[in-house]
Structure 1
Amino acid sequence: MKISEILHRSAIIADLKSNDKKGVLEELAAAVSDMAETDSQQILKVLLEREQLGSTGIGGGIGIPHGKLNAINSIVVGFGLSRGGVDFDSLDNKPVHIFFLLITPENSTGSHLKVLAQISRLLKQSDFKDRLMKAETVDDIVQIIHDVDDEF
């Protein structure tokens, strides 16, 4: 499953404004709420509950906040870029700059894991991360993700 096929440009934030975890999650939840056809507060609640289990800041400047929600019927992916970085309780205690948000239906464990795995594969490429960090617009981000996604 290609990320570029499920990440809509309306769910991409090229310059996150928030400088804390909850604020970033609020921005990302709002960005995907139309696509998810559900209230951003429901999405935020699921994300915050998941963060209580352990941070989704995986290190290397990356965060992959995710959760499952009964109210949606298909996988929803969002993206956010923080220029200054955010304290996200990351595993390496470093600021997070690149965020991929993933919300899946409650009963879609297989799809959930496949998308997480694809995001992780993409983010293991340092060139991909470097290009994302230099992206200035939503169009830049779409193109970068599309280019790298095609390699898989």
Structure 2
Amino acid sequence: MHEYVNLSELIHRGGLYYDVKGATFQEVYKNLSQLVSLPRELNPEFFYTELCLREEMMSTAVGKGIAIPHPRHPILTQFDEQRIIVCFLEESLGIETPDLKPVFALFVVLSSNKSTHLNVLSNLAFLFQKQTFIDVLKTRPQEHELLTEIKKYQM
């Protein structure tokens, strides 16, 4: 049985960040680690390092201009601190992606257990198949607009 994952709640907790600078994923992650509000238990340097280590293993770009950066393993201990940080880049990253489209948006997943982690990735993959959702993302929506769009598809 799968646990219910509320993407809207996780995104609300993680927040949306706009015009994040960086010419590489590493630069973006460094800047993001200094911008975002992280749980008390999570050191910004550790957050940065974990994202970079995962990116070095394999790109987190999934196509359609989106990447889903995430540590290889859950790095939070508190269930209620889990979050998705949505990041819109100042300049798209022209890196190798499955469909060759530059990355303009990141959904950074921070979880406390493997079950939630996998469910979040699955739910995000479902959303990213919806062209209307991608079209909304391209407008760099405010939080309430993004959450309204997600609720249309929330399983």
Question: Post-superposition shift, 1:127?
Answer: 1.4
* Residue type at the aligned position of 1:115: V
Structure 1: runs of 5+ lacking an equivalent? none
* Residue type at the aligned position of 1:96: V
Of 118, 122, 125, 1:117 maps to 122
Q: Which residue of structure 2 aligns with residue 89 of structure 1? A: 96
TM-score, normalization by structure 1: 0.82
Q: Distance in 1 between matches of 2:51 and 2:68?
A: 10
SS in 2 for 1:34: coil
1:71-86 superposed matches below 5 A: 71-74=76-79, 75-86=82-93
Q: Which residue of structure 2 aligns with residue 146 of structure 1? A: 147
Q: CA RMSD in A?
A: 2.1
Does the 8 Å contact 2:19/2:89 carry over to 1? yes
Q: Which has the higher strand share?
A: 1
Percent identity of paired positions between Structure 1 and Structure 2: 24
Q: Distance in 2 between matches of 1:88 and 1:36?
A: 32
Question: Post-superposition shift, 1:144?
Answer: 2.6
Question: Post-superposition shift, 1:10?
Answer: 6.2
Q: Distance in 1 between matches of 2:93 and 2:139?
A: 17
* Residue type at the aligned position of 2:47: I
Q: Distance in 2 between matches of 1:19 and 1:71?
A: 28
Q: Which residue of structure 1 aligns with residue 62 of structure 2? A: 58
Does the 8 Å contact 1:69/1:103 carry over to 2? yes
Question: Post-superposition shift, 1:83?
Answer: 4.7
1:2-151 superposed matches below 5 A: 2-8=6-12, 11-35=15-39, 37-67=41-71, 68-74=73-79, 75-105=82-112, 108-135=113-140, 140-151=141-152
Question: Post-superposition shift, 1:149?
Answer: 2.1
Tell me the number of residue pairs that the alignment of Structure 1 and Structure 2 aligns: 146
Question: Post-superposition shift, 1:111?
Answer: 0.6
Tell which deviates more after alignment, 78-87 or 32-41.
32-41
